[in-house]
Every structure is written in C-alpha cells, then in structure tokens.
Amino acid sequence: MNFTIRPLALLIALGLGGMATAQSADAPAGGAPAADTAGDPAAFSTGQEVGGVGETYTKETFGDWQLNCIRTADGSDPCQLYQLLKDDKGNPVAEVNLTALKPGGEAVAGATIIAPLETLLTQGLAITVDGGKEKKYPFTFCAAIGCISRVGFTAAEVEGFKKGAKATVTVVPVAAADQKVSANISLKGFTAGFEAISKLVAESAAP
C-alpha cells in the first residue's frame, strides 16, 4: 500500500467529518456551528502521548555515554549507561550496558557486554584500560542479539575507568581463531555518568 500526504484541508475534513456533517445539517446561515455540537467535548480528540510502557529512551548524555532508561507504568524507569563499540573500520563490534550495584559485594559496577554471535566463546572476553593489564571474563550465554558476558567491576577498577581515557574490549572470531577483534570503550564522560547512575540506584534502593 502506498501512502501519500494529503492536503491539509482534506485531512481536516477526514478528521472532523462527523462533526462537519452535523454542522452542515443544522448550522444557521453564515456557517456558524450549531449549538448542540459547538461545545460538545466528545467531538474533539485530546491526543495520545507518544511512547508507552516498555519504550527505551535516552534520559541524559555524558560525553560518549548515554543514560538509557525503560519507561514503566509507575514511573520508576530503570536506567543503565550505554555505549556502542566499533572497530577501526567503523563496524559495530559490541555494546555495553553498565550500572552501579547495590553495596555488599566485591563488584560495585556491573556491565552487560554483547558481542557478535560469531565469537569464539572459549576464548572469553578481554578488557584492558589504557593498555594496562588484561583481564578476561567468560561469556554467560548467546541469544539472537549476540553473545553476552556479564562483567563485574571492583571499586578499584571503576576508579581506573574514571582516570582513564579508554578501555579496550577484545574477542576472538570463530572463523579466525588466530586473530583478535578489538574495540575501544571511550571513558569520556564516564565519571559523571557513573555518578548519575549510582544516584539513581541508591534512590531506588531507599525505603
């Protein structure tokens, strides 16, 4: 089906067709609307808000990080920091969703990193900050969107992110097990972004 933009007058006629018919039958000379329809609230639409429950939206941006949230019915809207990672050719390689964690565990931040389905799972996922010591993490499972690794970062590692310029994520493709594919996580805006997500997590945990 082909859709075309109709002239404004025709759109008005289509949208108010019922009211126009009633007015033409009862309107007095001169085109004044009939009294029984002019003040009828049922004849007018109040519209509908775009974006409902379950919709993802960007609440704020911190440097290269987006604070993405999911709209809920009660307005609690859980949020995470998000960044799309690309290789040196500009191809999407992975994406990161990161949040602050509630106190009590060794990890103070948790990240869900999604890599392509063609990733060699046995090699895990490696992360370094500014070329420092490499740390490897296992993949948890694979789904239609890709292979997921759930990574926990300690307080010291989060401090390293705040002071660093970039973190590098490295995976090994199944088709070329002797090669590695890397993508950089920009740490520009991380400090402000993590402070924002930490505040939201603390507020949600408050009684």
Nearest Cα to Cα of residue 38 among 46, 28, 47: 28
With 60 as the cut, is the pLDDT of residue 50 above it? no
Q: Is the sign of the CA dihedral 196, 202, 205, 207 positive or negative?
A: negative
Listed in sequence order, the residues at least 6 apart from 165 whose beta carbon sits closer than 8 Å to its beta carbon are 130, 186, 187, 188
Comparing 19-33, 150-164, 185-199, which segment has the lowest mean pLDDT? 19-33
- Mean pLDDT computed over 62-73: 95
Domain-wise residue ranges, the chain: 56-205
- Tell me the one-letter amino acid at 70: I
Mean pLDDT over all residues of the chain? 81
The pLDDT of residue 44:
66
- Mean pLDDT computed over 199-203: 92
* Confidence at 52, pLDDT banded by 50, 70, 90: confident
Nearest Cα to Cα of residue 167 among 131, 116, 137: 131
Listed in sequence order, the residues at least 6 apart from 148 whose beta carbon sits closer than 8 Å to its beta carbon are 112, 113, 114, 115, 139, 140, 141, 142
- Mean pLDDT computed over 157-180: 94
In this structure, CATH architecture of domain 56-205:
Sandwich (2.60)
pTM over 0.85: no
Nearest Cα to Cα of residue 93 among 128, 60, 132, 119: 119
